[in-house]
Amino acid sequence: MNSPMSDPAFWHRIQFAFTIIYHYLFPQLTMGLIGFIVFWKFKALRSGNPRYATAARFWTKIFGLNFAIGVVTGIPMEFQFGSNWAAFTRYSGEIIGQTLAMEGMFAFFLESAMILALVFGEKRFSPRGHFLVSLGVAIGSWASAYFILTTNAFMQHPTGYTAGADGLLHLQSFGQFLFNPWAIVEFAHNQAASLVTGAFVVTSLGAFYMLGVRHHDQARLYLKYGAAVGLFASVLVAFPTGDRQAKMVAKYQEVSLAAMEGRFQSGPEAELVLIGQPDVQNRKLDNPIIIPEALSFLAYGTFHSDVRGLGAFPENVWPGNIDLLYYSFHIMAGLGTLFIVVMALAVVYLLIGRLESNRFLLWVLMLAFPFPYIANTAGWMTAELGRQPWLIYGLFRTEQGYSKAATSGSTVFTLIGFCGLYLVLGFLFFYLIEREIEQGPEDEGD
Amino acid sequence: MRVIELWYAILAFTLIVYLMLDGRNFGVGAIQRAVAKTPAERRQLALALGPLWPWHEVWLVVLGGVMFVAFPRVLAVSFTGYYLALYLVLWSLILRGIALEVTGYDEHPLWQEFWDFVFTASSVLLAILFGVALGNIARGVPVGPSGEFQMPFFTNFRTSGQVGLLDWYTVSMALFTLLALSAHGATYLTVKTEGPVCDRSRRLAHKLWILFCPALAAVFAETWIIHPNLLSGIGSRPLAIAPIVVAIAGAAMIARGLKYHRGGLAFTGSWLLLAGLLIAGAAAMFPTMLRSTLGDSNSLTAYNSAAGPTSLKVAAIWWPVAVALSLGYSLFILRQFRGKVPAGR
């Protein structure tokens, strides 16, 4: 009787989760890649060396395809707030609407005016003018991230609001809302992670061309900058940004931290779990491999700090899906650690001049590109599953937020529609990307 | 309370700018088959759309943002109520955007034929859907005492009580919108293209604008039948009369521009005509935003749906700054893409 599928909220959540996860596969690459493109266009402008211009031109085509899918899958996101989460929209709309509208007006306007000029209009601009166009796209896409992460930060840790007598939230301090400390940490962590995706993709293609003995000069360029940025960004994701993010969760979402770690009992000198399977029914963790006292240190800065477990909180504030939350967090953190190792190895071999001849490492780099996507997705699942059962943490529950007037039948219908449409988009994307990679950077006419 | 009126005006402005800008692209898509006969001509058409069509589409996102920040209740009620229609719009926009993006990536004739068809079909559907939306705004929707509604695509095709998305009035508004945007798009092509495409566009624009006159009279008459107060509202409000005068001037400019082959004049006239009619409609509606067909007391108005004063004031500070910046970027880009698109190789 009480299957989750008979609950309308289930379908609204699945649709939002599916469409947002799919959408974010594209912006995480474009936000990372645009950094490479701007940098190479700058080098080309300064040095006049055509290899940088060729690199920027090739990656702009990859960027353009990703951007196109990112845009078309992004537009439904904003509109789903109104259609599927009407009660949430009404409750907090005038606050989160600020940043959602600012994203459109300050970020999307800039990106959308520049994007086709960036991808198709190089000949119409001077090199300096076209560099400015790429800079405009870069600023637009990173500003967009800030606005949308501020919106998310309000849901994670609301600030700058007041609860009105009409039962709705009202804006009290625009500054406190826009510069929510959670938003700043989340932005730094997320943008570093998007650079990781960009760097792994650039490195992967460099390794692919190197192993296939094609486009040798370009391949060297991709390996060099991909590995350097990859190492830098992978370290940034862990420290200081990931560390600060974890401390924020420990401070404001204590129960989520317990669930992320599969920690049921409270106590000092809390251990950090590396591997293990949570057993929520019996409130224990099976097959644990741990680092003693590390969780206390990471969360609160001393090895003997008390870290409360799930048992210390009533079950109605536990995150709804503890198993998935636990695995999401551990997959993200585990992959994040491996990224540092892989990129550090690549940089060491680069420095001693042996990377190009180390076929094993090139194979690893070539095959590694899907993992940052998995880590980014798992990270977002950690953030959003950890926020449950709240839509706005401590204020408004997820089950209160969906559109009561929209029927489950309609939601299932639109979810099926999205599945079909996005499947087609996926095939189309792979076909077009494969063509670009096959054609490669050097063969194009000028 | 003046800030609420300001936000009603901003919302109307955003909606009208979106419809005029992207409506031009829908119009070009709808008449693609009629004015571009060869693959080369269809490429010429795609180039004539220019580099800013994504920027046009963002005006729709901004429209959502303005509703969010200023009238969250209207956003919540209408998007839930129009649930299926909204998704048809979103999916059509996805297909339209993809078609425009990917057609040029592959030279294969079947690839091009397929995506040209998708572009035309999604453009026609979007023009129709936005026409239905305008019809629904004028006619009203079944908002009940709970302040919500959920509307099927169709009920009994009548225009009062438990109405559906489609009835005789909204369907005729949809066809009228398709006609108006096709004429608007054809007029644009006379400015932006050369050669046979330009000649065909001019002849088509001429025909469509002649058809537009009786169609407009018919839509006025129908609106008089279903909502007499809306038209009498125009007569008593200076803010609604002025745009009607502008619209008439626009019509004269279209006639003169098409006759003397002055595309720029005709296209400016097309803007003034359509925007004038829409502004007059918005001014006559005020303060109603979602009219209820189940009794006026259920209607959502600017006053009973607006956000709190702090929110409206804060947003009124950054909004004009953002619009000015946006116009700056678009002009910077357009300057590099000015001039007509020549007939293809």
Nearest CA in chain B to A93: B72
Question: Would you call B310 and A171 a contact, using CB atoms and an 8 Å cutoff?
Answer: yes
Nearest CA in chain A to B51: A116
The model's confidence at residue A1, banded by pLDDT at 50, 70 and 90, is: very low
The model's confidence at residue A446, banded by pLDDT at 50, 70 and 90, is: very low
- Residues in chain A with CB shorter than 8 Å from the CB of B98 are 68-69, 72, 425, 428
B97 closest CB neighbour out of A71, A98, A111: A71
Average pLDDT, chain A: 93
Q: Is residue B160 scored above 60 in pLDDT? A: yes
Beta strands in chain B (DSSP E): 288-290, 300-301
User: How far away is chain A from the Cα of B124, in angstroms, using its nearest Cα?
Assistant: 18
- State yes or no: cis peptide before B51, omega within 30 of 0: no
A117 closest CB neighbour out of B51, B68, B90: B51
Q: How many CB atoms lie within 10 A of CB A129?
A: 14
Question: Would you call B90 and A75 a contact, using CB atoms and an 8 Å cutoff?
Answer: yes
Nearest CA in chain B to A102: B65
Nearest CA in chain B to A86: B76
- Residues in chain B with CB shorter than 8 Å from the CB of A112 are 52, 54-55, 57-58
Tokens of B45: 């058409």
pLDDT digits (tens, 9 = 90+) for A337-358: 999 999 999 999 999 999 999 9
Question: Would you call A79 and B79 a contact, using CB atoms and an 8 Å cutoff?
Answer: yes
B247-262 average pLDDT score: 94
3-state helix, strand, coil in chain B (%, to 5): 80, 5, 20
Burial group, residue A238, by CB count within 10 angstroms (0-12, 13-18, 19+):
middle
pLDDT digits (tens, 9 = 90+) for A64-117: 999 999 999 998 998 999 999 999 999 999 999 999 999 999 999 999 999 999
The pLDDT score that the predictor gives to residue B335 is 87
- Which of the pair, B138 or B159, is modelled with greater confidence? B138
- Residues in chain B with CB shorter than 8 Å from the CB of A71 are 54, 57, 97
- Residues in chain A with CB shorter than 8 Å from the CB of B329 are 109-110, 113-114, 136
Q: Which of A392, A329, A340 is nearest to A368 (CA)?
A: A340
| All residues at 6 or more sequence positions from A211 whose CB lies less than 8 Å from its CB, including other chains | A359, A362, A363, A366
The model's confidence at residue A4, banded by pLDDT at 50, 70 and 90, is: confident
Mutation for testing the B interface, residue in A94, A418, A430 having most B CBs under 10 Å: A94
Q: How many CB pairs under 8 A join A and B?
A: 217
Distance CA B145, CA B116 (A): 46
Tokens of B314: 């804060």
Q: Is residue B345 scored above 70 in pLDDT? A: no
How many percent of chain A have pLDDT more than 70?
A: 99
Q: Is residue B343 scored above 70 in pLDDT? A: yes
B5 to A17, B232, B270, B299: CA distances (angstroms): 37, 21, 27, 17
Question: Would you call A102 and B51 a contact, using CB atoms and an 8 Å cutoff?
Answer: no
Distance CA A48, CA A132 (A): 17
Q: Is residue B237 scored above 90 in pLDDT? A: no
B104-121 average pLDDT score: 91
ipTM of this predicted complex?
0.91
pLDDT digits (tens, 9 = 90+) for A282-313: 888 898 898 988 899 899 888 899 999 999 99
Question: Would you call B329 and A106 a contact, using CB atoms and an 8 Å cutoff?
Answer: no
Residues in chain B: 345
- Residues in chain B with CB shorter than 8 Å from the CB of A421 are 91, 94
Distance CA A332, CA A418 (A): 27
Question: Would you call B60 and A73 a contact, using CB atoms and an 8 Å cutoff?
Answer: no
Q: Is residue A416 scored above 80 in pLDDT? A: yes
B32-37 average pLDDT score: 92
The pLDDT score that the predictor gives to residue A444 is 43
Burial group, residue A399, by CB count within 10 angstroms (0-12, 13-18, 19+):
middle
- Residues in chain B with CB shorter than 8 Å from the CB of A65 are 101
A250-277 average pLDDT score: 92
Point out which residues pair with A397 in neighbouring strands: A390
Question: Would you call B68 and A96 a contact, using CB atoms and an 8 Å cutoff?
Answer: yes
Beta strands in A123-194 (DSSP E): 161-163, 169-171
User: How far away is chain B from the Cα of A32, in angstroms, using its nearest Cα?
Assistant: 21
Buried b / exposed e along A165-193 (16+ C-beta atoms within 10 A): eeebbbbbebeebbebebbbbbbbbbbbb
- Residues in chain A with CB shorter than 8 Å from the CB of B86 are 79, 82-83
- Residues in chain A with CB shorter than 8 Å from the CB of B315 are 98, 101
Q: How many CB atoms lie within 10 A of CB A41?
A: 27
B102 closest CB neighbour out of A136, A421, A428: A428
